Structure 1
Amino acid sequence: MICPKAIVILSGKRKCGKDYFADLLSNKLGCENCDLVRLSAPLKKKYAEIHNLEYKRLLDSSSYKEAYRDDMIKWGESEREKNPEIFCHLASEACKTDTWIVTDARRPTDIEYFRSHFPKKTLLIRIHSSDKTRRERGWVFKMGVDDAPSECALDTGIMWDIVIDNTIDISSDDLDKVCDRLEQISHK
C-alpha cells in the first residue's frame, strides 16, 4: 500500500451518483493518477468465496447483486462487529497511487479509519440526489436496506467538506472545487 497524498471519501444514498461522480473526478485527475477504492469490493469478494457466487456480478448494479444484498449486508455487519476496519484495510491494501477516491463510505467507522490512519489527507464529500431522481435511475425503496445502517449511518452527525447536488447533474464547478481542495490537501 502506498501512503496517499489525498483521499476523497464519497458518501450518499443508493442511486445518488457516487460512482458517476467518482468516474468524472477520476477522469479529470487522470485515471492513472488515482485509485477508485470500493470498500464493498473486499466484502463482496469474501462473500462470493464463502457462498460460491460470481464475485464480478456482485460488483455491478444487477438483479444478481440485489438477490444477495440483504444477506450480504447482514454478513458484512457481523464481520464489522468483529473488526470495524476490516473492509477499509483490505480495500486500502490494493491502492497503487497517491490519490484515492473512496466511492462508497457508508458508516462512521469508514470515515474514522481514513481520518485516523491518514490524518489531514481526507476530503469528505456527500453526494445528494432527490428521491424522484433516484427513482428515475432505478432506485426502489427496500425495507431492511434503505433504512439500515449501510444506507443511513452517515445521514447525520458528519461535517462534510463539500456537499454536491446531483439531482440534475454534476457541474464543472463542483469538480473544480474538489480538485482545488485536493491540491490544498496534497501539499499539507
Structure 2
Amino acid sequence: MLKIVLISGKRKCGKDYLSERLQKRLAGRSQIVRISEPIKSEWARKLNLNLGELLSDGPYKEKYRRDMIEWSDEVRAKDYGYFCRLAMEDALAHQDTPYVLVSDVRRKNDIKWFRETFSQDNVLTIRLTSRPETRCARGWIFTTGIDDVSSECDLDDFDGFDFIIPNDDNLDAEAIDHLLDKLELKYK
C-alpha cells in the first residue's frame, strides 16, 4: 500500500528541509515528489528557459515565478489535478518505496486530488508554520503577486491537516521521531 505524505507551508517555512529529513529517517523507504517540477519543466520548455536554474532556489526562478504561477493557475482551471498527476507519474512507475513525500502542496485542490486518487486513508497532511521573522531570516521577502495569491494562501483556512508543525527553529530529531511514530501508527 502506497502511503502519501503531503507537506505544505508558506515559502521559506522548511518544506524541503522536512521532506529531506523524513526521507533520510525513512532510510530508503521513501521518495520525494515535487508538484513544482512538472510546472517548471513545462514552463522551461514553453519559453526555452534553463530548467536547472528554475529548479534552484535562486534569483533566476524568482524572475519567472509570478508568470509561472499565473500560467499554472490557467492550466489548473481546466484540470485541477494536472500537475499532481504529472508529478506522480515517476513515483507510480517506481513503487519500490512505501512512502511518497510530496514536498510542496500549495492548494486545496492538490489535497483533493491526492485524496480522491489514493484514498483519504492513504494520505497524510502536514502543515509547517513559521513566523514571518523566521522566514525572513531564511531569505524570504514578501512579494506582492506571489505571497498574496492562491499558490501561497489557498491553504491558510484549510482545517483538515493531520499535523500542524511549528518550524521556527530547525526541526530536531525528536520532532522527526514523533512524526515518524505517528506515520507508522496511521499506516499499520
Structure 2 equivalent of residue 62 of structure 1: 58
Structure 1 equivalent of residue 72 of structure 2: 76
Q: Which amino acid aligns with 1:53?
A: L
Instruction: Please state if 1:125 is matched with 2:126.
Output: yes
Gaps of 5+ in 1: none
Q: How does 1:142-157 map to 2 (within 5 A)?
A: 142-157=143-158
Q: Deviations over 1:155-181 (max 9, x none)?
A: 012321111111012122321222122
Kindly state the Cα deviation for residue 125 of structure 1 after the two structures are TM-superposed: 0.5
Secondary structure of 1:146's partner?
A: coil
Gaps of 5+ in 2: none
Structure 2 equivalent of residue 39 of structure 1: 35
Segments ≥4 residues shifted beyond 3 Å: none
Secondary structure of 1:104's partner?
A: strand
Structure 2 equivalent of residue 92 of structure 1: 88
Secondary structure of 2:104's partner?
A: coil
Q: Deviations over 1:29-54 (max 9, x none)?
A: 01x32110100100100000000001
Q: How does 1:7-46 map to 2 (within 5 A)?
A: 7-30=4-27, 32-46=28-42
Distance 2:69 2:159 in 1: 22
Structure 1 equivalent of residue 110 of structure 2: 110
Q: Sequence identity, in percent?
A: 41
Q: Which amino acid aligns with 1:118?
A: F
Between stretches 10-19 and 113-122, larger displacement belongs to 113-122
Kindly state the Cα deviation for residue 114 of structure 1 after the two structures are TM-superposed: 0.9
Task: Tell me the C-alpha RMSD between the 2 structures.
Answer: 1.1
Task: Tell me the number of residue pairs that the alignment of Structure 1 and Structure 2 aligns.
Answer: 183
Q: Which amino acid aligns with 2:117?
A: H
- TM-score when normalising by structure 1: 0.94
Q: Which amino acid aligns with 2:14?
A: G
- TM-score when normalising by structure 2: 0.94
